[in-house]
Amino acid sequence: MDIVEALSAESGMVCVVGAGGKKTTLYTLARSVPKSVVTATVRIPIFDEQVADVVVTDDPVSALTETARWPLGLVPEQDREDRYRGYDPSVVSAIQKSGTARAIFVKADGARTRWLKAPNDREPRIPATADTVVPIASAKVVGKPLTDEFVHRPERVAAVAGLDTGDTIGAADVAAVLASRDGGLKNVPSHATAIPLVNMVDDDELERVGREIATTVLERADVPRVVLARMNTDDPLVAVVD
C-alpha cells in the first residue's frame, strides 16, 4: 500500500481539511495520480511550482478540455501577491462532473500553518460531491500548549476537546478533534469516506504518539482507518492503523 491507496485518492474528489500539512498532502497526491487537478474552495498560497501548470479562470471546465499538462492547478483569481482565491464548492463539483480529470484534490479550509485546528461556523467548504475527506493533524502538536502559536482557533479546539486554552495538548485531545463532527468530521457528506491523517510522524516517538491518536480516533469515529505519514518525504506513508 502506498499513500495514494491509503488515503483512497486514486480517483474522484479528495478534500483535505484541518492543520499540519494540507498543502503538502495535496501536492504529493497530485503528483502521484495521473490527470489530476489541484484546486480550492478557500484561499490557497501560490502553488505554481508544485504543479505542471496553473490556469486562472472563471471557466475551469473549459480549461480542463484545453490542457495537456498535468497535474493542473485551477483557481478563479489571484487574491493578492501570495494567494489565490478558491472556487465556490458548486464549481468544484462541476469540475468533477465534467469527467476530464481522474482526480481532484481540494483545499477546503485554512489553518495559517498551525498544527491543529477546529473549524469555525463557515468552515469547511466541502463540495457536496466529495468522495473522500482527509482531516489532518500534526503529531508534533502533542505536548504543546493550546495557544495560537500551535493551534488555529484554540478556543474552538478547547470546546471540542474539553480543554482550557493554555492546557497541554495530549494525544487523546488530538483524537477528539479529528473524530468530532464539530472538528475533523464537520460537513463530511453522508456518502463520503473520511480518512484521518496524522502527519509529521518524523521519528519513532512521533510514530508512537501517532498510533495513540489513531487508536483513539478509531474508538470514537466510524472511519475505516487512520493514516500516519510524513508528507514532506519521497516515501510519505509511515503506517496504516485500522
Question: Which residue is it, cell 472563471?
Answer: 58
Give Dmax over CA atoms of the chain in angstroms.
52
So what's the pLDDT on residue 22? 97
So what's the pLDDT on residue 80? 86
Q: Note the pLDDT tens digit of each residue in 200-232.
A: 999 999 999 999 999 999 999 999 999 999 999
Encode 60-77: b = buried (16+ Cβ within 10 Å), e = exposed. bbebbeebeebbbbbbbe
Tell me phi and psi for residue 109, to 5 degrees.
-160, 180
So what's the pLDDT on residue 91? 98
Q: DSSP of 47-77, one letter per residue?
A: -GGGSSEEEE-S-HHHHHHH---SSEEEES-
What are the domain boundaries of the chain? Answer: 3-241
- Verdict on whether the full-model pTM lies above 0.95: yes
For 149, other C-beta atoms within 10 Å of its C-beta total 10
So what's the pLDDT on residue 100? 95
Q: Note the pLDDT tens digit of each residue in 14-49.
A: 999 999 999 999 999 999 999 999 999 999 999 999
Tell me, which fold does domain 3-241 have in CATH? Rossmann fold (3.40.50)
So what's the pLDDT on residue 181? 98
Question: Do 82 and 102 meet the contact criterion of CB atoms below 8 Å apart?
Answer: no
**Which residues in the chain come in under a pLDDT of 70?**
none
